[in-house]
Structure formats: structure tokens, C-alpha cells
Amino acid sequence: MKKTALTIALTALVINLSAQKLSTRSGKVKFFSDAKIENIEAVNKQVSSVMDLASGKFAFLVPIRGFVFEKALMQEHFNENYLESDQYPNATFKGRIANTEAIKLNKNGEYQLKLKGKMKMHGVENPFSEEVTLTVKDEQVHLHSQFYLKASDYQVEIPAGKKDNINNRLEVTVNIDYDK
Amino acid sequence: MAWGLCLTLFQVQAQDDLLAQLEEEAEEQTRYTIATFKGTKVVNLQSNEMPAEGVLQYTFMHRFGAFNNDFFYNFLGLDNAQVMLTLDYSPYDWLNVGLGHTGFLKTYHAYAKYRLLRQSEGQQSSPVSVTGFSAAYYSAQRYNDDLPRNTANRMRYVNELVIARKFSSDFSMELVPTLVHSNLVEEVSDNNSVFALGVAGRYKITNMHAISLEYVHQFNPNQYLDPATNTLKNYSNNLSIGYVIETGGHVFHLFVSNARGIAEPYVFAENTGSWADGDLHFGFNISRVFTLKKPEKLR
């Protein structure tokens, strides 16, 4: 009898916990480089992310192979020569979003929040903090953020001959719709 | 005791690492291997690579004259070089079709390359990639002999089954069972179908540079009359050593090979060049790709 009660209590707790946890596997990350000779854009629609609204814990994972470029050869060079996705298949972020407990899922609204944690890419980890916008619409949570990353901070070297083709400073746009 | 364990377990789960959970999930996803070889050919053998969907590829291949044939008089063989041009397009990710021409026996050819299996890890995993290549060759050469040179007799066919594996980011290898069929052969005793097995590998020295090696062994080679010795000799097996340089939009492939003809039937089953005699040729393949159709996923 006691055991059953405990099981029920535990199950309830787990359900409760998972109810506050938002996740998706189809988030979008886009990056854009504008250099003298050309602009390069790549889109990744296979971003997975989990957010725990109770604790503010937040993580995302970007499979490097998931980036699609306009030119297939560019995509190959990006994987083979720059991000070395055989060795470093994913870019990840792990950290916290402040004040997520203030978010009301049952009411439409927009929240400007602070994100802080560690970004890891190409085997290099750097501290990272940025503003993110969380939007609640019809009980669905959307996360948006735009920021700049420097390739050199992650030991992604752009050879001297390619400096006019690829900008070391990349504009990154994150758009994540969490599953309901 | 059991409850304690239960609670501990629960606690672990409660403060669980969200990222670890994502990484675990990512491990399970199917991940396809990319860039097993640079370029769609190793040297003379096909690689498992195909241009992506919507990409038009133009290749320009050259074989210079032999080292042992007045090499310097012929400007390092450049003066009697053979050329082959091909143009191909991938209407789908798994299919590539193309046309080509080479001056050797005035040969025109049409080909199709099709992906059957992709090397992958995760949920759906495969240790190798398997790609088929089928081509038909028509020789428009003018002859002054008694043989029936009708259209059917001017045809040759090649089928290659490329079984490739990328062992590490630097090292890839492939095995290529090959069948060369000629509708017309010189002697009654000659085989119309020659079976061969190709082996090729590439090793990356840097991200942009690689060396490659290929060998194609015939199991039932035909013979030819060697004018120098006036004896019958087996057609040679093809051995080539290459160096690959990659720039932004091009792949340059420089190599030394004992094959002079560039089209597959001549390289694999009608090659008279021998490494031992110094009957070697410098050569290069250059490819250039043009994206005609942007990937759908980009939108």
C-alpha cells in the first residue's frame, strides 16, 4: 500500500517536472557572413533544445552536418575544412535563463530575459551571455535571439586567401518553437 | 534501503543535465558520412561521391604523352595529350547523369551514377556506401579494315559497383568490382567481357591536400600484339598515383598513370602502358560545379 502511494507520488512528481520542461528537435539556427566578395548564409532546422521553466536551465544542440548552404561544395568545405564535423559533430550551449519562473504559459506575452552559460563549438568552450526574447502565444513558447560569434574564438581558422570570402564575425539567429 | 535508492535516483533525474539528454538523443539520430573522397573520380575509377541535387558538373581531364616517348621533345608529353570532357547533372540526390567525349578512338559516352547505400551511424547504420556507375561508349573512329564496323560493333559498356568506406576523416578506401564489355573484339579467342576489381584509397595530408592511389586488376585480360617485340602481351592493369589540391570551387587532381586512354574501357581493359617500361603519363582532372537549383531546405 505504502509502495503504491510512493509510486503515485513519484509519478506525479515526474509528470509535474516534465510539464515544466519544454523541448523540441526542430529549432532553427541561421548564420550569415558578409565579406567583400560574397555573402554566405546557412540554415539548420535540426536544432534540439530543452528548457526547464522552473529552474531556468536551458540547453541546445546544433548538429553541424545539419547546416544547409546554397552551394553543396561550400557545405562540404564548412564540415571538412572549417568545423571538422567528423571530430566535432555538434555545437552546444548549456546554461540558464534568468527569471523563467515569471513566465505564464496560460497568458500571451513577451519576456526579455538574460541567458548565461557556456557555448561549445569545434571542441572549444567559451562563456556566453546574451539577451533572449521568449514569446508565449496560445500556450506555445518561442525563443528568439540574435548575436555575433567570432570564428577565431572557437579556433576555426579562416585562411588568409579566404578573408575576402568569409567574415570572421558571424551573425547568428536562433529561432526555437517549443513543442506544446 | 530500496526507497533511499529510489530517492537518490530521483534526485539524479531531477538535477539532470539537459545537455547530456540532448547529446544522447543526437547519438541516436542517423548521421550520414560525407566527403569520403574529394571529387567524383579517384583517378580513373569512380569514387562514391556524386554532385548534390541540382548541381551541374563539368570535368576536364588530360593525359599527357608517355615518359618513354620523346618526353622532352614533346614538351613533357603535352604535345600529344589526350583530352576528355564530361558534363553531368544530378536531377535527384541519388542520381547523376552525364555525357562525355574523348579524342581517343573518337569516343562519345553517356553515363548514369546512382547511390544505393550511404555509410551512416546512429539509428540507421551502414559501414559502407554503395554506388553504381553504368556507361555506354560509342567509338566513331574511321577504320580501313574488313571488320563489320556497324553501330552495335562500335559499342563498349562499363559497369562499376563502388563499395566505399571512410575509415577516418583522413583515410578512405573503396573496392570496385568492374565489368567491361566490348561488342567487338579483335580475335575470336578474346573475351567480350573482362572482369576486374579496382582498389583505391585516399589519405588527406591537410584539409586541402590529399594523396590518392588506385589499382585495377583484370581477371581475364585480353592480349595485344606488342609492336616492339612482336609478341603477344596481356593488356596492363591500371596503376595510378595522384595528388589532390582543393581550392574554393575547383578540385585539381594531378597524377601519374600507366593508362593513356581516358574513357573507362580503354583504361581498364585495353591499356598497353606498363610501369616497368616507363610507359607512364602525367595527367590531371579538374572539376567545376555550378548550382542550378538551390536546396529546398534553405527556404
B69-120: pLDDT as tens digits: 888 888 888 888 899 999 999 999 999 999 999 999 999 999 999 999 999 9
- Residue of B128, B238, B117 lying closest to B172 (CA atoms): B128
- Residue of A153, A155, A132 lying closest to A143 (CA atoms): A132
Residue B137, judged by CB atoms within 10 A of its CB (0-12, 13-18, 19+), counts as buried
- Residue of B298, B288, B204 lying closest to A73 (CA atoms): B288
A92-110: pLDDT as tens digits: 999 999 988 888 888 999 9
Mutation for A interface: B5, B11, B22, most A CBs within 10 A? B22
Chain B: give the shortest CA distance to residue A60, in Å: 7
Chain B residues inside the 8 Å CB shell of A47: none
The confidence score (pLDDT) of residue A39 equals 93
- CA angle B125–B128–B132, rounded 5-degree value: 120
Interface predicted TM-score of the whole assembly (ipTM), two decimals? 0.83
Q: Is residue A52 domain-resident?
A: yes
Provide φ and ψ at A24, rounded to 5°.
-160, 160
8 A C-beta contact, residue B166 and residue B172 = yes
**If pLDDT is split at 50, 70 and 90, which confidence band does A166 have?**
very high
Residue of B nearest to A21 (CA): B18
Q: Please state, in angstroms and rounded to a whole number, the distance separating the CA atoms of residues B68 and A29.
A: 58
**Strand pairing partners for B203?**
B171, B211
- Residue of B183, B243, B185, B235 lying closest to B212 (CA atoms): B243
Q: Is residue A104 domain-resident?
A: yes
**Run of H or E residues at B3:** helix B2-14
B208, B289, B297: residue with CB nearest A68: B297
Q: Is residue A139 domain-resident?
A: yes
pLDDT at A16 over 60: no
Q: Please state, in angstroms and rounded to a whole number, the distance separating the CA atoms of residues B297 and B153.
A: 47
| Cα-only R_g, chain B | 24
Chain A residues inside the 8 Å CB shell of B25: 25, 48
**Strand pairing partners for B209?**
B245
Q: Is residue A13 domain-resident?
A: no
Q: Is residue A124 domain-resident?
A: yes
DSSP helix/strand/coil, B230:
coil
**Run of H or E residues at B136:** strand B129-139
Letter for the amino acid at B113? Answer: K
Domain of residue A82: give its range.
22-177
Q: Is residue A17 domain-resident?
A: no
Q: Is residue A9 domain-resident?
A: no
Chain A: give the shortest CA distance to residue B257, in Å: 27
Q: Mention every residue, 6+ apart, whose C-beta is less than 8 A from residue B145.
A: none
In this complex, do A58 and B35 lie within 8 Å of one another by their Cβ atoms?
Answer: no
pLDDT above 90 coverage of chain A, percent: 73
A68, A79, A84: residue with CB nearest B298: A68
The confidence score (pLDDT) of residue B291 equals 92
**Strand pairing partners for A60?**
A49, A93
Q: Please state, in angstroms and rounded to a whole number, the distance separating the CA atoms of residues A59 and B102.
A: 56
Residue of A nearest to B29 (CA): A63
Chain B residues inside the 8 Å CB shell of A92: 19, 22-23
The CATH number of residue A127's host domain is 2.40.128.110
Q: Is residue A8 domain-resident?
A: no
Query: Which residues of chain B are under the pLDDT cut of 50?
Result: 1, 4-5, 7-12, 14-15
Provide φ and ψ at B113, rounded to 5°.
-125, 135
Letter for the amino acid at A105? Answer: L
Cα separation values, A170 from A29, A30, A70, A86, B14, Å:
12, 10, 17, 22, 36
Cα separation values, B15 from A96, B9, B10, B158, B166, Å:
13, 10, 9, 61, 39
A61-93: pLDDT as tens digits: 999 999 999 999 899 999 998 999 999 999 999
The confidence score (pLDDT) of residue A41 equals 95
User: For the residues A151-160, what does the mean pLDDT come to?
Assistant: 93
Mutation for B interface: A41, A64, A73, most B CBs within 10 A? A73
pLDDT at A17 over 70: no
8 A C-beta contact, residue B284 and residue B253 = yes
**Run of H or E residues at B115:** strand B107-117
The confidence score (pLDDT) of residue B15 equals 42
Q: Across chain A, where does the E strand assignment appear?
A: 21-34, 39-52, 57-63, 67-69, 90-97, 109-121, 124-137, 140-150, 169-177
* Fold adopted by B38-290: Porin (2.40.160)
